[in-house]
Amino acid sequence: MALRPILVAPDPRLKQVSEPVSEVTDELRRLMDDMLETMYAAPGIGLAAIQIGVAKRVIVIDLGKPKDEPDGDDEEGEASSKKEKRDPDPMYFVNPEIVWASDDLVLCEEGCLSVPDLYDEVERPARVKVRYLDYHGKRQEIDCEGMLAVCIQHEMDHLEGVLFIDHLSRLKREMMLKKLQKSRKRETVG
């Protein structure tokens, strides 16, 4: 696995629409491994491939799993590992599609590894059903609510070249982009 640099807005590559994946290959799994490692190192809870400059419809998410939850249908069965309050729970989504969204909306504060240190509230459907291919290329469907619903919709926006700041007013968005450009200039000096 390898860490990849994360693109920061207003990098034009972040506005690209990502291409569907034709097959889940070992090479694609390597990309997903790199994405996960890069996301953990950032640290973040979700990452789309385009954020590391790869215009493919792939996202990874890890919201963690509460420690005391019984493992259920999980095959790992490592009930003994003791780290933080949450266990890693990596999720991989290839060619994700929203097949249903609830009418009720939820307002949630979002941030983004490509919009570092800036946060604002975005309104989205509270629940969505997503169809996708998993790490092994198997067709799956998942009902998402709470943080997962917010996170998956945020990451899927990236596949369309949309950032959470694109959901805000133009004034707010321009303010944020100005801040990013300022902090970027400071960084490139060193």
Residues labelled as active-site residues: 155
Is the CB of residue 154 less than 8 Å from the CB of residue 63? no
Is the CB of residue 94 less than 8 Å from the CB of residue 57? yes
Is the CB of residue 122 less than 8 Å from the CB of residue 162? no
Using CB under 5 A, count the residues that bind Zn ion: 1
Site for Zn ion in 108-137 (CB under 5 A): 112
What dihedral angle (degrees, nearest 10) is formed by the CA atoms of 16, 10, 167, 106? 90
Closer CB to Zn ion, 112 or 128, in the complex:
112
Minimal CB distance residue for Zn ion: 112
Distance CA 2, CA 124 (A): 33
CB of 71 to Zn ion, least distance (A): 30
Distance CA 118, CA 133 (A): 31
Closer CB to Zn ion, 39 or 133, in the complex:
39
Which residues lie closer than 8 Å to 5 by C-beta, 6 or more apart? 52, 53
Q: Is 165 in the site for Zn ion (CB under 5 A)?
A: no
Stretch in the footprint of Zn ion (CB under 5 A) among 16-24, 35-43, 61-69, 107-115: 107-115
Q: Is 176 in the site for Zn ion (CB under 5 A)?
A: no
Closer CB to Zn ion, 87 or 110, in the complex:
110
CB of 164 to Zn ion, least distance (A): 6
Q: Is 151 in the site for Zn ion (CB under 5 A)?
A: no
Write out the residues near Zn ion by the rule CB under 5 A.
112
